Structure 1
Amino acid sequence: MSPGWWDWLATRDSLTERLIDAGQPRRFRVRLLDQRHGYPHRDEALALGLATHRLAWVREVALCLDERPWVMARSVAPLSASHSQHRLERLGERSMGSWLFRQPDLERGPIEICASPGPFHDAEGPWGRRSVLRHDRLMVLVQEFFQQAMVDDLGLPSR
């Protein structure tokens, strides 16, 4: 893996902020693809310590610069009645990171790196990553898959 990719994959800070900074002067936008209560994939349930037949909150978005998807993201959280859960469900086309990374008690688990495309069959790109974030009683698995448009726009190596 190139050092440039390692910087993107290993960062524990907000990916949203990094995308906005790297994409200047392009306009950043979150495109909501899907948000629902559904069943997590088996590996997602394992990462969250959930039974595979338990419903969860599932959100899929494209993080775009000038309408070009740079990152496809899928987040999964156990259903709860917490205030934080309700905040997530009302995000719409706002970045989850812009809210989560302002929480002083936010904890991020280890980052797992994988080959993309992950759960997005129509997406293409070299890398993906995921980690569990915790805030208050909220636990959410955040999975981010970097797309070819980002590679092309930033001149990053394919791997």
Structure 2
Amino acid sequence: MKHDPISPGWLSRPPPKLDAVQKYWLSRPGPLTQGLRRQGQVRIQVVGEFAEVVSTDEALTIRKQANTVVWVREIFMSIDGTPAVVARSITPLDASRSVWQAMRQLRTRPLADILYHDPAIVRSVFESCIAKSPMPIFKAVARAGQLPPPWQATLPTRRSVFWKNGQPLQVTECFLPAFWSQLLRHPKA
């Protein structure tokens, strides 16, 4: 199925300047945490959970008005103490109290715990980009204290939308520079 990205800066395939390993991780199907656990001990830290008005970019992908209030969950994942991924998940505030209410009760458990066991949930195709300011995921990386120095500034990122009963849950995952170094030391996909 052909997919045209909805938002500027996002591509239907991983950016061409990335290497084969980075492209693989940006398009790897299934739960990301499952793949990360093959690399080592994964620790999830909640950076923040809060309500905010959705960005124009995110409003397009979740098919909502730009003034929609969404529930946001931002987490930071490390592997054996090495910074790996910052993730940002959003759903309309009303959906966070109904269809996607389990998202608000995860604490340090991965979102995969609620996404991959329900046949009513359908996932969109991935979009990819290199995260930059002022993207919401870039701001999440900053809130997590994980902005790389300018010479390491490539932040390969992917996102997809999970749909359940007509309600979206967008998940955006940004791979940090140290993740690729960890992968080179212990290549287990």
Normalising by the residue count of structure 2, what TM-score does the alignment of the two structures yield? 0.73
Quote the residue 1:7 is aligned against: 24
Q: Deviations for 1:40-76, whole angstroms, at most 9, x for unmatched residues?
A: 2220111111122221111110111123320000111
Q: Deviations for 1:80-138, whole angstroms, at most 9, x for unmatched residues?
A: 25644221111111100122112223211121110035423452343001111113444
Aligned length: 153
The answer to whether the 8 Å contact 1:126/1:147 transfers is yes
Quote the residue 1:123 is aligned against: 147
The answer to whether the aligner puts 1:36 opposite 2:50 as a matched pair is yes
The answer to whether the 8 Å contact 1:14/1:98 transfers is no
The answer to whether the aligner puts 1:49 opposite 2:73 as a matched pair is no
The answer to whether the 8 Å contact 2:82/2:182 transfers is no
Q: Which moved more, 1:88-97 or 1:60-69?
A: 60-69
The share of aligned pairs that are identical, in percent, is: 25
2: CA distance between counterparts of 1:145 and 1:113?
A: 10
Of residues 74, 84, 87 in structure 1, which corresponds to 2:88? 74
The runs of 5 or more residues in structure 1 that have no matched partner are none
The runs of 5 or more residues in structure 2 that have no matched partner are 1-17, 149-153
Q: Which runs of 4+ in 1 moved over 4 A?
A: none
Higher strand share: 1
1: CA distance between counterparts of 2:54 and 2:80?
A: 31
Query: C-alpha root-mean-square deviation of aligned residues, in Å?
Result: 1.9
Aligned to 1:155, the other structure's residue is in SS state helix
The answer to whether the aligner puts 1:101 opposite 2:113 as a matched pair is no
Normalising by the residue count of structure 1, what TM-score does the alignment of the two structures yield? 0.86
The answer to whether the 8 Å contact 1:9/1:113 transfers is yes
Quote the residue 2:104 is aligned against: 89
Aligned to 1:17, the other structure's residue is in SS state helix
